[in-house]
Amino acid sequence: MSVRRFWASLSTLALAAAASLGVAGAAVAADSAAVGGYVALGDSYSSGVGAGDYLPDSGDCRRSANAYPQLWAAANSPTSFAFVACSGATTASVASGQLGALDASTALVSVTAGGNDVGFADVMQDCVLGSEATCISSVDTAVGEMNNSLPGKLDSLYGSIRSGAPSAQVVVLGYPRFYQLSGSCIAGLTEAERTAINDASDVLNGVLAKRAADAGFTFSSVVDEFTGHELCSGDAWIHSVTVPIQNSYHPTVAGQSGGYLPAFRSAV
């Protein structure tokens, strides 16, 4: 999905401010979010593909009871909770199929979107099944889409979210880097392929962070949380190629609870 690192982040600049707010400030933020409703939008990284225990009414959207939106809602008891994230969602399908859950009472929104717009699944298929040259070419094509077509799509989606929930805090979450370089893997992709995928992650997350900031939203990286838990780390929180195939390259239960949930919680 060449440039270094496939889905990652800008540095968190709020540590000093957070420290000055202290525990009381964090409690106020959580309480203010819980006053109104929480709506979880997005793609498979928000629906929880790969984390199992899919909710019976979620069908092919594969919304997991172990996904970070479910975990956050269970811990914080918002006045209402709409979990509408769906596997395979693009910016366009989030806009057309999920924003009906928003209204003036929505206080908090989370969203992951953008990976499917740049052909994430096709890139990984090319890298797993094709040559190194095919993989890197596919990654480069995706990077071009990240820089050229994706910003406008994100602007459109973010504008629609703001229109649907004019008073909400909106948290845009990024995507993890997939690979620990020079790690424990002795087969599979080459180091050049892993590097290209990780590099593209950084590009994607940079685009997400910039568009989120311009929309007045909060961007929260998951890169720090997943560091040490990438593929080839020996303690991966991301599935490699697996069965069922849709779980491949998605967070595990630990990736949702130990990666995405803390990243979301820190932003709220």
Helix (H, G, I), strand (E, B) or coil at 64: strand
Q: What residues does 42 pair with on adjacent strands?
A: 112
What's the pLDDT at 243? Answer: 86
The pLDDT confidence band at residue 187, using thresholds 50, 70 and 90, is: confident
pLDDT digits (tens, 9 = 90+) for 130-185: 999 999 999 999 999 999 999 999 999 999 999 999 999 999 999 999 999 999 89
How many C-beta atoms surround the C-beta of residue 218 within 10 A? 19
How far apart CA 31 and CA 18 sit, in angstroms, is 16
Residues annotated catalytic, as ranges = 44, 250
Question: Cβ contacts of residue 40 below 8 Å, gap of 6+?
Answer: 46, 67, 69, 73, 81, 82, 83, 84, 85, 109, 110, 111
What's the helix, strand, coil split of the chain in %, to 5? 55, 10, 35
Q: Is the peptide bond before 244 cis (omega within 30 degrees of 0)?
A: yes
Q: Output the CA–CA distances (angstroms, integers) from residue 52 to 67, 179, 181, 249, in the order listed.
A: 9, 22, 28, 14
What's the pLDDT at 29? Answer: 40
Single-letter code of the amino acid located at 81: F
Confirm if 42 and 63 have CB atoms less than 8 A apart. Answer: no
Indicate the DSSP class of residue 48. T
Give phi and psi for 238, each to the nearest 5. -130, 135
The pLDDT confidence band at residue 64, using thresholds 50, 70 and 90, is: very high
> DSSP E strands: which ranges in 14-132?
37-42, 80-83, 106-112
Is residue 2 scored above 80 in pLDDT? no
What's the pLDDT at 35? Answer: 55
pLDDT digits (tens, 9 = 90+) for 28-39: 344 444 458 999
Single-letter code of the amino acid located at 99: L
How far apart CA 56 and CA 17 sit, in angstroms, is 42
What average pLDDT does the segment 259-264 reach?
A: 98
What's the pLDDT at 186? Answer: 82
Return the sign of the alpha-carbon dihedral for residues 139, 145, 146, 147.
positive
Rg of the chain (C-alpha set): 18
- The per-residue DSSP string of 147-170 comes to HHTHHHHHHHHHHHHHHHSTT-EE
Domains of the chain in start order, with CATH, are 15-267 (3.40.50.1110)
How far apart CA 9 and CA 35 sit, in angstroms, is 30
- Tokens describing residue 123: 């890139």
Tokens 């690192």 locate to 5
pLDDT digits (tens, 9 = 90+) for 203-225: 999 999 999 999 999 999 999 99
Is residue 71 scored above 60 in pLDDT? yes
How far apart CA 226 and CA 261 sit, in angstroms, is 11
Tokens 């009472």 locate to 105
Q: What residues does 172 pair with on adjacent strands?
A: 111, 219
Q: How large a percentage of the chain has pLDDT more than 70?
A: 87
